[in-house]
Amino acid sequence: MKILGFLFTCLLTILFAGTYVSASLYEFYEGLLPSISERVPLAESCGIDSYTGTYSQNILLEDCLNNENILGASPLPTDNYDSFLTSPLSSSATSVFVNSLPNVSSTIYTIFSSDGITPSEKIYCTGTTSTPSNKLTTCTRGVSFSPVNGVIDETAGTGSSHSKNSRIAITDNINFSGKALAILNGSQATNGTVFYVGTSTAYGIILDINGPTISTGTVYLGDGSTTNNKVIFAKNGDANKPYFRYNESTNYWQWSDDGVNSYNFTTSSASGLSASSTRGIGITDSYIYINTSSTLGYTFDSSGNLYRMVSSTGGIATDSNGLYVDTSDNFTWSGTNTFSATTTVSGPFTVTATSTMATTTINGIFVVNASTTLSNLTIGNTSTAPLLNGNMNNYHFHSYTISTSDTLQQSADTERNTTATSYAKVKEIQYNITTPTSTTSKIRISFDLANSADSYNAFGIIYKNGVSYGTERVKGGVAGYQTFSEDLYFTAGDLIQLYYKAGSSNSATVKNFRIYYDLTLYNEETIVNTD
């Protein structure tokens, strides 16, 4: 017997020269040893890298297969099925008549060539029946012998025709062990809804593709108990690893940057942050915000900056320095008010309620329509009606008159020219002065007029409110400017206008349209009756 065993080993060495297949590995496959490429996935599942079929690698593979230590699961359906076809099989048939049935209903089968050794086609059948005769049912034909793009599945390929008595067997299980490896490598799905990592289905990390609700993926961490903390560590180089943790004793999610000190993420009720409704702080969608009152003038700009609004009608404005009083706005004081400091009012001023004034200078219209106490009051530019009504102590009245003079008060000096031979308005100044004794005042108007060439004429004239009013002026003779002036009467609100035109084949030019007058204040505290 020893001699026979030695001869058998030598025969195997000759048959598989160059691959160093162990005799027991050959026996494990019952003489139908898969090719090296077919054994690579099994070797990788057993932790054998760079498998090339060397003797030492085959010893390791044999030990792994015998002890079922393939990574992921047991590599085989434990069935040593080996039979033959009892009728011919076409390339598209999905039922396979066989001499005997396996102990499993769903598995991969290999159909061999006529020599009984060379694999011809792999098929995947999911059922068996013995009535009326033994056959494998619901078979997928032409299943791949090796992974395609890293994925092993039972997708139909191209079937082959096989004769009666062709050998069919469960001889290798690349479609099982290789698939487990592909799943772990992330190139193939499990085709299940739950994947457990741990010593049982109640412990470790549970990946549930259904989740709490359909179509949402969920990862469960823990064992379902209320005593063991659930922790995820960051594997860095520190002795104490940073972590996220659910603390079962406090019912807090916690985090730690140093692996020693932990901090809570939220409240024990998991209701998130809360804010005081009376302190202007709110929370929406986990964002903290400041409540602002739309009725009290606070809001945010487009950049999210908080600012204090001011009233467009209340005389209060704001700039980079803060709030200030806009003195160009009109003010209305609707209650009893006391002005205790020296006050200067440069515009019309109306008192409609009981008021007490200290030393005050008013350079506009002053009207008193209620009981008013005036102390050290200086009033200029007063109107004649209504008269002051109230208690007046040590008050001063100032009036003024308007008279023609050469005192410049207003000007429009820009040079303009035209070639038009019809009069057109070129400049305009509005007159807005009212004197205590009259609404009409006599003032001096002047302008410079020029012709563009010798012996040609240029024309200019003063209008009032769009109507010719002054004397028509003509500039002829030597080309150049000439100043014209005229004293005319105007009333508050009048438009003082300059019209001009050119003579034939000439252009007219004007500039320095100006108004001159004197405003004279006089004191009415004492009046000389006889001198």
Q: Would you state the pLDDT for residue 458?
A: 95
Q: Would you state the pLDDT for residue 505?
A: 84
Which tops the pLDDT comparison, 299 or 119? 119
510 CB contacts (<8 Å, ≥6 apart)? Answer: 415, 416, 417, 426, 427, 447, 448, 449, 450, 460, 498, 500
What's the CA gap between 428 and 406, in Å, rounded?
A: 20
Q: Would you state the pLDDT for residue 207?
A: 57
For 496, the 3-state DSSP assignment is strand
Q: What is the DSSP letter of 162?
A: B
Highest-scoring range by mean pLDDT, 13-17, 122-126, 466-470: 466-470
Q: What is the DSSP letter of 186?
A: T
Whether omega for the bond prior to residue 102 falls within 30 degrees of 0, making it cis, is no
Which tops the pLDDT comparison, 136 or 199? 136
Average the pLDDT over 29-45 and give the result.
76
Q: Would you state the pLDDT for residue 383?
A: 37
Highest-scoring range by mean pLDDT, 39-48, 68-77, 236-245: 236-245
Q: Give domain 402-523's CATH number out of 3.30.1360.200, 1.10.8.60, 2.60.40.180, 2.60.120.1340.
A: 2.60.120.1340
Mapping DSSP onto H, E and C, the string for 70-131 reads CCCCCCCCCCCCEEEECCCECCCCCCEEECCCCCCCCEEEEEECCCCCCEEEEEEEEEEECC
Q: What ranges do the domains of the chain cover?
A: 1-74, 230-264, 275-321, 337-394, 402-523
Asked if the model's pLDDT at residue 459 lies above 90, the reply is yes
Q: CA torsion angle for 366, 367, 368, 372 (degrees, to 10)?
A: -10
What's the CA gap between 283 and 271, in Å, rounded?
A: 12
pLDDT band of 20, cuts 50, 70, 90? very low
Q: For the whole prediction, is pTM greater than 0.85?
A: no
Per-chain mean pLDDT for the chain:
74
pLDDT band of 96, cuts 50, 70, 90? very high
What's the CA gap between 18 and 38, in Å, rounded?
A: 17
pLDDT in tens, 99-122: 999 887 788 889 999 888 888 999
Whether omega for the bond prior to residue 386 falls within 30 degrees of 0, making it cis, is yes
Highest-scoring range by mean pLDDT, 60-64, 281-285, 435-439: 60-64
Q: Would you state the pLDDT for residue 386?
A: 35
What's the CA gap between 178 and 51, in Å, rounded?
A: 14
For 60, the 3-state DSSP assignment is helix
For 38, the 3-state DSSP assignment is helix
Average the pLDDT over 249-257 and give the result.
87
Asked if the model's pLDDT at residue 438 lies above 70, the reply is no
Average the pLDDT over 130-156 and give the result.
82
Q: Would you state the pLDDT for residue 88?
A: 92
